[in-house]
Copies of this chain bind each other. A is one copy, B any other.
Amino acid sequence: MTWRDPIEPFEKREPPRFDRPSVTVDVVILTLREGHLQALLVKRKEHPFLNYWSLPGGFVQINESLEEAALRVLRQKAGLEGRVGGAGREGLGQHPVYLEQLYTFGRPGRDPRGRVISVAYYALVEASHLQEIPEERMLFRLRLVEEEGRAEIFDGKHKRYSLAFDHGEILAVAIQRVRGKLGYTAIGFELLPERFTLRELQRVYETILQKKLNKDSFRRKMLASGLLQATGELEKGTGFRPAELYRFRREA
């Protein structure tokens, strides 16, 4: 193999003075509700994609990091405080929401107004933190259309809605990322309250992976993982034998 092109002069590494792309962050806010994986979306009030649903997002300010921008979007658009993890440097904090960078989308033409590069994040939120959802925001059920690399959104009555920009692709990558990470990280706990039963934890896994899991081996694996701390307490008002409540051991 030979060097096909002349080597680019180093001078070209100087930033261009014009024609810079805009940079945004978009945040996929995921939760589990009604037995489904759901995402919080915002109804657009202007062109393009007027009245389409879109990911909460915003432009990256010149002095803020990408993570700070994503946390700001979480705070301003969903009233949530975030905690940063992911990318091999899982950070811990006291905040209730798990946040991790997802992927960066930059196809020219993805925003008809001009060149916009979007650094996508995804957040995992316990459903109880999304009680009060204001006007023009809504939680949608998600359906991954694997062959096409995009997701579709539905309301509680199975009515499908339209997504703005390439946000269907971004949602698809988010779903696939969460599914993948479920296998080798403790990401599932982020969608549950502080105390939970093994049945509830298994439901989380089954909902996200969209398949039944073996109850016995799920119990064994979870209890053997050392990630769970028994509380000694039992759930209440079940109509059947109450299960023990466990806590997630963040240290492990």
Chain A residues at the B interface, C-beta cutoff of 8 Å: 1-8, 10, 12-13, 15-16, 19-23, 44-46, 57-60, 62-66, 75-77, 79-80, 87-89, 96, 101, 103-104, 106-108, 113-117, 119, 128-132, 134, 149, 172-173, 176-177
Verify A113–B15 contact, CB threshold 8 A: yes
**Contact between A104 and B79, CB atoms less than 8 A apart:** no
Tell me whether A108 and B58 are in contact (CB under 8 A).
Answer: no
> Does B132 lie within 8 Å of A15, measured CB to CB?
no
Query: Per a CB cutoff under 8 Å, which of B5, B104, B108 touches A119?
Result: B104
Kindly state the separation between the CA atoms of A94 and B107 in the bound complex, as whole angstroms. 22
**Residues B23 and A177 in contact, CB atoms below 8 Å apart:** no
Shortest beta-carbon distance from A163 to chain B in Å: 16
Judge whether B106 and A13 touch: CB under 8 Å: no
B64 touches A108 (CB 8 A): yes
Q: How far is the CA of A177 from the CA of B76 in the complex (A)?
A: 32
Cross-interface CB contact of A3 among B23, B87, B119, B132, cutoff 8 Å = B132
Contact status of A115 and B62, CB under 8 A, knowing A20-B20, A20-B23, A173-B88? yes
Question: For residue A44, which residue of chain B has the nearest CB?
Answer: B10
A7-B76, A79-B5 known; A104 and B107 CB under 8 Å?
Answer: no
| A77–B4 alpha-carbon span in the complex (Å) | 10
**A101 proximity list for chain B (CB < 8 A):** 103-104
CB distance from A95 to the nearest CB of B (A): 11
Say yes or no: B103 contacts A87, CB within 8 Å: yes
> Mind listing 26 A-B residue pairs with CB under 8 Å?
A1-B79, A1-B96, A2-B132, A4-B79, A5-B75, A6-B76, A8-B76, A8-B77, A10-B45, A13-B57, A13-B58, A13-B59, A15-B59, A20-B23, A20-B62, A21-B23, A23-B106, A62-B108, A62-B115, A65-B106, A66-B106, A66-B107, A87-B173, A101-B103, A104-B119, A106-B119
Shortest beta-carbon distance from A45 to chain B in Å: 5
The 7 closest A-B pairs by CB, nearest first: A3-B79, A66-B106, A15-B22, A88-B176, A19-B62, A20-B20, A8-B76
